Amino acid sequence: MAQRIQSSGAIDPDDITIAYLGGGSRQWAPNLIQDLAQSDLDGRVRLYDEYYESAARNARFGNWVQERDGAVADWSYEATDSLETALAGADVVILSTQYDPAETFVHDLDIPERYGIYGAVAATIGPGGIFRAMRTVPLYRTFAAAIREHCPDAWVFNYTNPVHFVTRALYDEYPEINALGLCHEVLGTRHRLARYAREQLDMDAERSDISVNVKGINHFTWVDEARCKGVDLWPVLEELRDGPEGHQTFTPEDLADDSVFVDHWQVTWELFRRFGVLPAAGDRHLVEYATWFIQGGQEGLNRWGVKRTGSDYRAKHWTPAESDQTTDVEAWMAGDREFELSESDEVFVDILAGLAGQAEYVTNVNLPNTGQVSDLQDGAVVETNALVSADEVKPMTAGGFPRPVRSLLRGHIDTIETVIEASADGDLDAAFQGFLIDQQIRTLQTEDARELFAELVAAQESYLQDWDLEEAAVLEEASAYPAE
């Protein structure tokens, strides 16, 4: 029986204090501000960020939004340069941070490519995902310890990738934390299923009409039941899988004008064909866990309709002048760009309303496994549906997996758990063991894996100060016995 998590501090819907760590966020924070403005909840948000001016900009934007037409809720925003001040007595903590991609993310993409590893996103598993975790997890241990001291009963919402590594680290540091890892990939799958219900069954359907039994780990989730207003969608999905919809191929030229976020679902259909359960995480993430699809480099990805998110995109997206991001709060506030209050597709406000007792709500969340997934390791962070109600979140029992899928999942969990254990005392050699058993790395000779690991460490050394680099045998070996 899966265990619920409960807070001893009730949330007052008319007086909520939110601490936002990473409050200088360029896209998620402005979206959140607009969602809160249109909610039935009131309160205050304290924005904390390493770059104080970024948090201050979002605070100005938040207070500016409160004066717009359609802003029916009562929220106030302030920036702070003190983690302790941000957290003091908070009811809710939001975690949403990222290091400069030009100094980190680009290496996660470019260096493995030289070893023949073409991660499509490189953010949650594989060499890029592991190094993102190694940069991020020590900071989140600090956050968890600070939450334990300043707001131990707060509800903590983690949006930072890699969600499973980071959420696991929060619980490893502070086992009594009330933390949820959130991701919108399953929501995207439900959007797509609603579209199939409209197109194939002529139903009036939207995301909220779709119910799925979801289970797995973040970005490698699976569905074995899908319904729209009670109607079983499985026969529709099997028909699409076996027909032309599920058998498309692509060339690089076909994808030239597509966004890097395009999702043609051809990896999804192929995995559904092979294993009988439907992936629910988007093809660009699935290929990094089901590594057959990244063999053959860019052309191999493109054949399945997947575009690689290259380092040039990541670097430009970080630079406001060159970015295609959808939010530009300075331009909105200055009147240089038209502003219209809109709602995001995220479910934070719905979950918060549920915790405040306004209405029960069911959605996918990432939590430690206490039985909700029957055949995966207890304590590992898994993603399933959960029932959110006043001051509690109860993960819903989702069952197990066919043996082949279970084998894939268990391997990735072993990688995650190994790196988390290593992070407790910064043991780089133990982290390399987790790196070595990753399913992308297994395509390499062990010496080449060691060289790749050492090269990634060297490129990002300033972001790995919480790891013992001086005593690491793996780095000494790479220097003394370089691979041929």
CA gap 358, 167 in Å, rounded: 26
Mean pLDDT (whole number) for 56-60: 97
In this prediction, residue 408 has a pLDDT band, given cuts at 50, 70 and 90, of: very high
The secondary structure element, H or E, covering residue 133 is helix 126-150
| C-beta atoms surrounding 24 within 10 Å | 23
Which helix (H) or strand (E) is 316 found in, with range? helix 311-318
256 contacts 307 by C-beta, under 8 angstroms: no
Q: What is the mean pLDDT of residues 115-144?
A: 95
Is the pLDDT assigned to residue 326 strictly greater than 70? Answer: no
Domain boundaries, given as residue ranges, for the chain: 185-309
Cα separation of 146 and 151, whole Å?
Answer: 8
Residue with tokens 């409960």: 6
Q: Are 138 and 75 in contact (CB under 8 A)?
A: no
Pairing of strands 75-80, 43-48: parallel
Strands 155-158 and 92-95: what pairing? parallel
User: How sure is the predictor about 321, in pLDDT bands with cuts at 50, 70 and 90?
Assistant: very low
To the query of whether residue 219 is one of the catalytic residues in this protein, the response is no
Least confident of 113-127, 265-279, 388-402: 113-127
Return the number of other C-beta atoms located less than 10 Å from residue 252's C-beta. 12
Q: Which residue is listed with tokens 């933390």?
A: 179
What is the separation of C-alpha 105 from the centre of its chain, rounded to a whole number of angstroms? 15
Candidates 184, 264, 317, 412; catalytic one: 184
CB 381 within 8 A of CB 366: yes
Give the burial class of 425: count Cβ atoms within 10 A of its Cβ; 0-12 exposed, 13-18 middle, 19 or more buried.
Answer: exposed
For the segment 54-77, the average pLDDT, to the nearest whole number, is 97
pLDDT single digits (tens) 353-381: 999 999 999 999 999 999 999 999 999 99
Residue 312, pLDDT score: 75
Alpha-carbon span 211 to 232, nearest angstrom? 10
DSSP-derived secondary structure letter, 396 = P
CA distance 62 to 69: 14
Structure tokens at 404: 């082949």
Q: Report how far residue 463's alpha carbon sits from residue 482's, in angstroms, rounded to the nearest whole number.
A: 24
Q: Residue 8: what pLDDT?
A: 63
d(CA 188, CA 284) in angstroms, rounded, equals 13
Half-sphere exposure of 23 (CA within 13 A, CB side): 30
> Confidence class of residue 43 from pLDDT cuts 50, 70 and 90?
very high
State the CB neighbour count (10 A cutoff) for residue 426.
18
Whether residue 19 contacts residue 94, with contact meaning beta carbons closer than 8 Å, is answered with yes
Residue 39, pLDDT above cutoff 90? yes
463 in Cβ contact with 99 (< 8 Å): yes
Share of the chain above pLDDT 90, in %: 86
For the stretch 73-107, pLDDT in tens is: 999 999 999 999 999 999 999 999 988 888 898 99
Mean pLDDT for all residues in the chain: 94
Q: What residue type is assigned to position 35 of the chain?
A: D
In whole angstroms, how large is the CA radius of gyration of the chain?
22
Q: What is the pLDDT of residue 273?
A: 98
| Model confidence at 483: pLDDT above 80 | no
Q: How far is CA 196 from CA 192, 202, 207, 449, in A?
A: 6, 9, 11, 43
Range scoring the smallest mean pLDDT among 136-145, 200-209, 258-267: 258-267
How many Å from the N-terminal Cα to the C-terminal Cα in the chain? 52
**CB within 8 Å of 462: residues ≥ 6 apart:** 103
